[in-house]
Amino acid sequence: MVQLVWYKRDLRVRDHRPLAEAAARGPVLPLYVAEPEIAAGADFSPRHWSLIAQGLHALRQSLAALGQPLVVRCGRLPDVFEMLYRQVGPFRIWAHQETGNRRTFDRDLRMRSWAQTRRIPLTEYPCRGVVRPLRDRDTWSDRWAACMKQPPVPVPEMLMPTPGDLEPGRIPTHADLGLPPDTTAVQAVSEAHAHQLLNTFLHERGKPYRTSMSSPLTAERICSRLSVHLAYGTLSIRQAVHALRERQLELEGASFRGAAMWRKSLASFNSRLHWHGHFMQKLEDAPRIEHESYIPAFDALRADDFNPALYDAWKHGQTGFPMVDACMRCLQHTGWLNFRMRAMLCSFAAYDCWLDWRRFAPYYGGLMADYEPGIHYPQVQMQSGTTGINRLRIYNPVKQGHEHDPEAVFIRRWVPELAAIENDALVHEPWQMSAFEQQAYGCVLGRDYPERVVDHLAAYHDARSKIEALRDTPHIQAQAEAIVEKHGSRRRR
């Protein structure tokens, strides 16, 4: 029987259990299905397909070297599988579980129903340390650690090709998926590139990671930049953990200059890898949080106050707050931004602009090259104050600019309207310029660069008072306790 390996967000040959299990049993048909239905989602952007297409080209080469190139089809599932069933006859399906958005969840339900109707075995293996189903959060950390401790699955020595004359098919274009062309500058995606980045981070770039990850200036190079590879599966989280453990063993007891800094930075990176799975598990356990606040009462808090003008200003990097605008424009152009600045952008939308997270989260996710629904939605809710359990973090965008871009290098790069201003402090706070200075620098507020769209201090106090008033009610506190029990980290207990 043909062994069909259904690729989703796992575009690799290394540490790929479905591929290894299939290869041990018979002729292998590795398949990826490009789905216009998924691409039509509000959180899917042209840059996402650019990255996936890169990964598919590289994966096809890797699989061809093993004896069977990747087969690619475009269409709706399970229709594509039904067509293949008629072409090649009965097969067995091997795949990884996926913690995605509602569209992929519904797609998976359709696939299971179809496979059951056709009496086709469908085996899905856990992925990314996510546990399905998880009945008790108390056990999750130990189970994640046990999964990470297992050795990565070796690459099959060869793949027995599928009998018959099955065309591999071309990798679809953006137009095939109903997407506009992509003109943004995003990083390369392939298994080889992922391992190169992992190696340079652990041995060259990562030493100042702990102290330099918060600045958008230094984070661009100092951070691992592995998030996009983890998102599309050109690197498994287990591979990253094993490489990290090996490097930490090398540094144990080392006394060379900088060894202590390396150990601290790698400890921080280890925490980030653990939190990756922690947040993925949240969406796995409660898919509703893609569209509903952890505590549903928070949905009514902003529902009637959506301001389209403020949303557009935030969306296009025209808020009049230089650090906010620089970060938004950077994210739009490159698809990447360090975590603290992402949190600040979300904070500005949720608190300063008082926007309902459900209205801006899909667009915000679409900007991110490394968009991962299981991380994105729990994080957006946490930064918007709707979980009921996390401390409110309302970022002051001016303070963040002064702290993490003191000489305004990042701002000048992404907000060229302010580049001619010689005084760094005025770049951070252009509203402090006199009319004469505005004319002299060629940056008249309201003409060359927008006035501030909100008063941050007033917005801060207004948002905080509304959210805390709701959080202080007994029935909300009771729901918050239930959320801690279901989703909270046990490391804090």
3-state secondary structure (DSSP) of residue 391: coil
Query: Model confidence at 480, in pLDDT bands (50, 70, 90)?
Result: confident
Other CB atoms within a 10 A radius of the CB of residue 363 amount to 15
Q: From start to end of 35-117, where are the E strands? A: 71-74, 91-96
CB 6 within 8 A of CB 93: yes
Spatial contact of 166 and 88, defined as CB atoms under 8 Å apart: yes
How many secondary structure helices (H) and strands (E) does the chain include? 24, 5
Query: What SS3 state is found at 8?
Result: coil
At 490, the pLDDT band (50, 70, 90 cuts) reads: low
3-state secondary structure string across 100-132: CCHHHHHHHHHHHHHHHHCCCCEEEECCCCCCC
Q: What percent of the chain has pLDDT over 70?
A: 99
Residue 493 confidence (pLDDT) above 60 = no
Q: Is residue 278 classed as helix, strand or coil in its secondary structure? A: helix
Q: What pLDDT sits at residue 75? A: 97
Which residue pairs from 317-320 have beta carbons closer than 8 angstroms and sit at least 24 positions apart in sequence? Answer: 317/414, 317/415, 318/450, 318/453, 319/348, 319/450, 319/452, 319/453, 319/454, 320/430, 320/431, 320/445, 320/449, 320/450, 320/451, 320/452, 320/453
The answer to whether residues 361 and 375 touch, using CB atoms and an 8 Å cutoff, is: no
Range name among 68-77, 339-348, 481-490 with the lowest pLDDT average: 481-490
Report residue 325 as tokens.
């605008």
pLDDT cut 90: percent of the chain above it: 92
Q: Exposed/middle/buried for 109, CB within 10 Å: 0-12, 13-18, 19+?
A: exposed
This prediction has a pTM of 0.95
Closest CA relative to residue 241, chosen from 269, 279, 213 = 269
In one-letter notation, the amino acid at residue 154 is P
CA distance linking residue 370 with residue 186, whole number of Å? 10
Q: For residue 417, is pLDDT > 80?
A: yes
- Mean of the pLDDT values across residues 475-493? 80
Average pLDDT over residues 159-163: 92
- For residue 40, give every residue at least 6 positions away whose Cβ sits within 8 Å of its Cβ, in sequence order, or none: 178
pLDDT for residue 492 is more than 70: no
Question: What is the SS3 assignment for 442-486?
Answer: CCCECCCECCCCCCHHHHHHHHHHHHHHHHCCHHHHHHHHHHHHH
Structure tokens at 355: 């926007």
For residue 357, count other CB atoms closer than 10 A to its CB. Answer: 22
Written as one letter, the residue type at 487 is H
Asked whether the beta carbons of 60 and 99 are under 8 A apart, the reply is no
pLDDT value of position 488: 79
Other Cβ atoms closer than 10 A to 276 = 22
Retrieve residue 126's tokens. Answer: 């856990």
pLDDT number for residue 389: 86
Exposed/middle/buried for residue 248 (C-beta within 10 Å: 0-12, 13-18, 19+): middle
Residue 112 scores a pLDDT above 70: yes
Q: Are 208 and 269 in contact (CB under 8 A)?
A: no
pLDDT above 70 (res 491): no
pLDDT at 456 over 70: yes
Q: Give residue 229's pLDDT.
A: 98
Query: Mean pLDDT, to the nearest integer, of 243-258?
Result: 96
pLDDT at 352 > cutoff 80: yes
Scanning 205-290, the segments in alpha helix (DSSP H) are 209-212, 216-222, 227-232, 237-251, 259-285
User: H/E element holding 5?
Assistant: strand 2-7
Least-confidence region, from 191-205, 397-411, 426-440, 474-488: 474-488
Between CA 189 and CA 344 the distance in angstroms is 27
Q: What are phi and psi of 11, to 5 degrees?
A: -85, 70
Structure token digits, residue 411: 């701002």
Distances (CA, A) of 253 to 115, 211, 267: 54, 21, 15
Under 8 Å between Cβ of 56 and 89: no
Q: How confident is the prediction for the chain on average, in pLDDT?
A: 96
Burial class (CB in 10 A: 0-12, 13-18, 19+), 245: middle
- Cα separation, 419 vs 427, whole angstroms: 8
CB 401 within 8 A of CB 323: yes
Closest alpha carbon to 45 in 152, 145, 181: 181
